[in-house]
Amino acid sequence: MSTHRLNCGYVPLVDSAPLIIAQELNYAADEGLNLNLLRQPSWSALRDLLALGHLDAAHMLAPMPIAMSLGLSGMTAQIDALMMLSVNGNVIGVSRDMAGRMRDAGWGGSFVDPVGTARALAQATDAPLKVGIPFPFSMHRLLFDYWLRDAAPFTMITTPPPLMADAVAAGELDVFCVGEPWGSVAVDSGAAELILPGAAIWSFAPEKVLGVRRDWAAQNDGLAGALMRAVYKAAQWLDTPQNHALASDILARSEHLDLPENAIDHALTGNFAITQTSEPVDVPNFLKFHRNAATFPWRSQAAWIGAHIAKLHGLDKGHATKVAQGCFRTDLYRKHLSGVGVDMPGASAKLEGAMANRTAVASTRGDMILGPDAFFDGAVFDSGDPK
């Protein structure tokens, strides 16, 4: 079998794991691929390299392909999400000083109370909050705005994930929303406390996608399918609990995340130390790679992202949601993964936020369980997409 080398970019986060595991455990080799994994210092660097054709595929924030296709982020480029790489996986943290002021305002330190935590955060300061996010077009940005927009004024400050702890320690940030392991790194450094997992805001939020240029996917259909199959198998392996120890060992290596294994374990197990001295807490569904159709690129999730980007940037909502839905390639997912027995949902869109609990849904094999996918405020989003 001939081997095709693909340049794949990623930012050093735990949710880059499907690409790393696909290469390290030979799922890519089984598909005739050699993934040249290229670690990037920032999302903007990764974005530009993909747009210019220096990367074939990339680990991307879910809103990035949509923003790029709308011409909002760097050079305009038609970027598609072939599949999801992860669901959930973010944490919200505050400086230790801010945590103290929140307690003075009556906050009890709960890690599962988005409404009470938002109220305490608003009461803890008279000035607009300085909020660190990794990139302007990210679920960090959209989820934080969705959660806090009616509670307190804030300004967003773009901060690369590896620098988040230092920015908090220097007093440059009051609050941050970041993917693991960088929230845990901030806690371990003594700079911050964690106050909320992203899953408390939206319990099934699309986080990272496998992004490619649309013209690359059209010209390399066979390679796109091979890459998707390799990543799917890696995601399935990652969501098997007995594999977490080996996954941590692989991800911690210097050529990948270059971090202590214990910093990576929190995300994989959903077990968090929210302060330096507190007992760990369990966060169900903190990060998903495969369970509950986590790899499927739902057009309704794309529409939610498009609608919120439109609101933030003054765009026509109908146009933004149409572009967004076109970026999430359910057609290629069905084409390339149906043949290897992957259970496919009966529809490509759903009512987002409608499932408070695990729910059986129609699928090709009849084995699909979705949910929970609730929003913290009980809202339900209808994309209006019949497909």
Q: What is the CATH number of the domain that holds 25?
A: 3.40.190.10
Q: Mean pLDDT throughout 220-232?
A: 98
Which residues have CB under 8 Å from 216's CB, separation 6+? 53, 56, 57, 224
Domain span at 191: 90-204
pLDDT digits (tens, 9 = 90+) for 147-175: 999 899 999 999 999 899 999 999 999 99
Tokens of 11: 């930012």
Q: Mean pLDDT throughout 202-209?
A: 98
Strand 4-10, strand 154-158: pairing: unpaired
Residue 95 has pLDDT above 80, yes or no: yes
Q: Mean pLDDT throughout 134-146?
A: 97
Residue 387 has pLDDT above 70, yes or no: no
Tokens of 316: 């026509």
pLDDT digits (tens, 9 = 90+) for 319-353: 999 999 999 999 999 999 999 999 999 999 999 99
Task: State residue 141's pLDDT score.
Answer: 97
Domain count of the fold of the chain: 2
On the question of a cis peptide bond just before residue 160, with omega within 30 degrees of 0, the verdict is no
Percent of the chain with pLDDT over 70: 99
Q: Mean pLDDT throughout 81-103?
A: 97
Shared domain for 82 and 111, answered yes or no, is: no
Task: State residue 1's pLDDT score.
Answer: 62
Task: State residue 385's pLDDT score.
Answer: 52
Burial (CB count within 10 angstroms: exposed 0-12, middle 13-18, buried 19+), residue 369: middle
Q: Mean pLDDT throughout 24-53?
A: 97
pLDDT digits (tens, 9 = 90+) for 246-274: 999 999 999 999 988 988 999 999 998 89
| Average pLDDT along the chain | 95
Shared domain for 123 and 176, answered yes or no, is: yes
Phi, psi of 350 (to 5 degrees): -150, 170
Shared domain for 108 and 138, answered yes or no, is: yes
Percent of the chain with pLDDT over 90: 92
d(CA 182, CA 200): 18
Shared domain for 110 and 121, answered yes or no, is: yes
Is 365 inside a domain boundary?
no
Task: State residue 386's pLDDT score.
Answer: 41
Q: Mean pLDDT throughout 166-187?
A: 96
Question: What number of H helices and E strands is found in the chain?
Answer: 16, 15
Task: State residue 26's pLDDT score.
Answer: 98
Helix (H/G/I), strand (E/B), else coil: 86? strand
Helix (H/G/I), strand (E/B), else coil: 387? coil
Shared domain for 77 and 226, answered yes or no, is: yes
Is 338 inside a domain boundary?
yes
Phi, psi of 48 (to 5 degrees): -65, -40
29 touches 21 (CB < 8 A)? no
pLDDT digits (tens, 9 = 90+) for 347-361: 999 999 999 999 999
Q: What is the DSSP string of 28-53?
A: HHHTTEEEEEEE-SSHHHHHHHHHTT
Helix (H/G/I), strand (E/B), else coil: 360? strand
